[in-house]
Amino acid sequence: MLLIDCPHCGPRAQEEFAYERTTDAVVRFDDAAEQVVTTLYSRENPRGVSEEIWRHTYGCRGWMLIRRHRVSHAIEWVRPLGPEPVA
């Protein structure tokens, strides 16, 4: 289990969060359907550090960007995304 340091709530257990996607899997609305499927479901899963988008679903409901090593799961940093969450 990961301990994620929410920028708004402090350290919380991974179960409170929902993983959304890595930042390299961003889909634009004008992409063709085949491109969307390829981007979301057929990407590689390389080892090393990645930047991922997470949401604090069972907390402040805020979005955050997490830089994490995919093998060791060590979190380098956590940054908020978007506006402050509404309480």
Overall domain count for the chain: 1
Average of pLDDT values for 49-55? 90
Q: Give the domain extent around 26.
A: 3-81
Average of pLDDT values for 38-65? 84
Is 16 part of any domain?
yes
Is 25 part of any domain?
yes
Closest to 55 measured CA to CA, from 21, 82, 18, 23: 18
Is 86 part of any domain?
no
Q: Report yes or no: 68 and 83 within 8 Å, Cβ to Cβ.
A: no
Is 87 part of any domain?
no
Q: Report yes or no: 2 and 14 within 8 Å, Cβ to Cβ.
A: yes
Alpha-carbon gap, residue 23 to 29, rounded angstroms: 16
Least confident of 40-49, 50-59, 64-73: 40-49
Provide the CATH number for the domain around residue 59.
3.30.2270.10
Return the structure tokens found at 63.
Answer: 């979005």
**pLDDT for position 33:** 75
Q: pLDDT for 17-35, tens place per residue?
A: 998 876 665 556 566 777 7
The H-or-E segment that residue 50 falls in is: strand 49-55
